[in-house]
């Protein structure tokens, strides 16, 4: 094994689970506590996609040689995060005559993880699943916390369930094969944790842009562990997003509107979130220092992420898509804004004039 293990625990009583972070975990004999020890029965089905399967499927199956192991390989991309894909996976499991002792393993990025978790929540009213995320965005965000689901043409992630994994295994070596664009998109979520929770971490990211871009193993391991620690604290306090957990969605209401408008997959999730975070911080101008916006914009630019919405997207387009959002209550569009760097809050009590000014600034 290439480096020491870091372990973060998501504290949810008898449903608590470990997040294990290390280098070359998939190349090693993964400790029984983190994989085999989390599999109750003899049957395992790995769900992955056409990009990840040639890289890591055989390696993972070697570590599961004591189990009856099958696989389901999906096409790659956000455009396949649909009910049709869920139906195909469920059909395959039924054809295999899988029962409730089955454990699913999500091997891939956020799309694979979200769909595997949703299938795990639905199949025979619930089976166990394990997350093995292979993208930075999935490692720091979507693999942790149990939010699962699929997209609908009218809104992102509008169909789904809360379903916690039994463990999350993060092999930082998988990031070596990640395209730059996807790596940078993942960094948007890392930056988000500093913005909403930890100003010192935000400063650390600013100080470590170059080693992060070079994918230095120790630097990445720290960034991933810190992000997971923050998310674990928030999820433990508010598992089903009644209040605090919604702050993890800073920039996401604007970002999801961009993704829905552009067509899923044309903008990566992290790219849309990067622009959305800038819009949210601009909306927070009465609470945060002007330097916070400038610092965020510089960080986003350093990771080659977009700072403006797609050309031709109007304020009306934004409002139409933002009106279909899980955080909304009644007719109010609720937004996550910053109280200060490191402190976010959820509100529908904001100036509509300020929202319009934000659109005027960003929409071209």
Kindly list the catalytic residues: 125, 147, 189, 231, 241, 245, 249, 252, 256, 269
Do 108 and 133 touch, CB atoms closer than 8 A?
yes
The candidate with the shortest Cα–Cα distance to 199, out of 294, 297, 341, is 341
């Amino acid at each position: 094994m290439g480096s020491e293990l870091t372990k973060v625990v998501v504290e949810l009583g008898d449903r608590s689970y470990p997040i294990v972070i290390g280098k070359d975990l998939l190349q090693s004999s993964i400790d029984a506590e983190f994989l085999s020890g989390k599999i109750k029965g003899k049957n395992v089905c790995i769900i992955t996609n056409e990009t990840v399967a040639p890289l890591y499927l055989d390696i993972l199956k070697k570590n599961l040689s004591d189990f009856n192991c099958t696989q389901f390989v999906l096409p790659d991309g956000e455009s396949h995060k649909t009910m049709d894909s869920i139906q195909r996976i469920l059909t395959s499991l039924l054809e295999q005559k899988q029962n409730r002792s089955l454990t699913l393993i999500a091997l891939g990025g956020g799309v694979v993880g979200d769909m595997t978790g949703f299938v795990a929540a639905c199949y025979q009213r619930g089976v166990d699943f394990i997350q093995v995320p292979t993208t930075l965005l999935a490692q720091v965000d979507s693999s942790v916390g149990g939010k699962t689901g699929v997209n609908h043409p009218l809104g992102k992630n509008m169909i789904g369930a809360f379903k916690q994994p039994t463990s999350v295994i993060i092999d930082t070596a998988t990031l070596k094969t990640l395209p730059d664009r996807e790596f940078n998109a993942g960094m948007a979520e890392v930056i988000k944790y500093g913005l909403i929770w930890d100003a010192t971490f935000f400063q650390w990211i600013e100080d470590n842009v170059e080693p992060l871009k070079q994918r230095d193993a120790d630097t990445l391991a720290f960034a991933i562990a810190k992000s997971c620690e923050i998310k674990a604290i928030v999820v433990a306090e508010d598992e089903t997003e009644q209040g605090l957990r919604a702050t993890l969605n800073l920039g996401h209401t604007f970002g999801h509107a961009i993704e829905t408008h552009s067509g899923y997959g044309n903008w990566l999730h992290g790219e849309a979130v990067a622009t959305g975070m800038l819009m949210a911080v601009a909306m927070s101008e009465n609470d945060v220092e002007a330097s916070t916006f400038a610092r965020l914009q510089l960080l986003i630019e350093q990771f080659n992420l977009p700072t403006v919405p797609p050309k031709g997207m109007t304020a009306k387009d934004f409002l139409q898509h933002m009106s279909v959002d899980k955080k909304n209550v009644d007719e109010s569009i609720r937004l996550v804004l910053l109280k200060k760097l490191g402190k976010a809050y959820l509100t529908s009590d904001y100036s509509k004039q300020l929202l319009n000014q934000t659109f005027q600034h960003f929409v071209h």
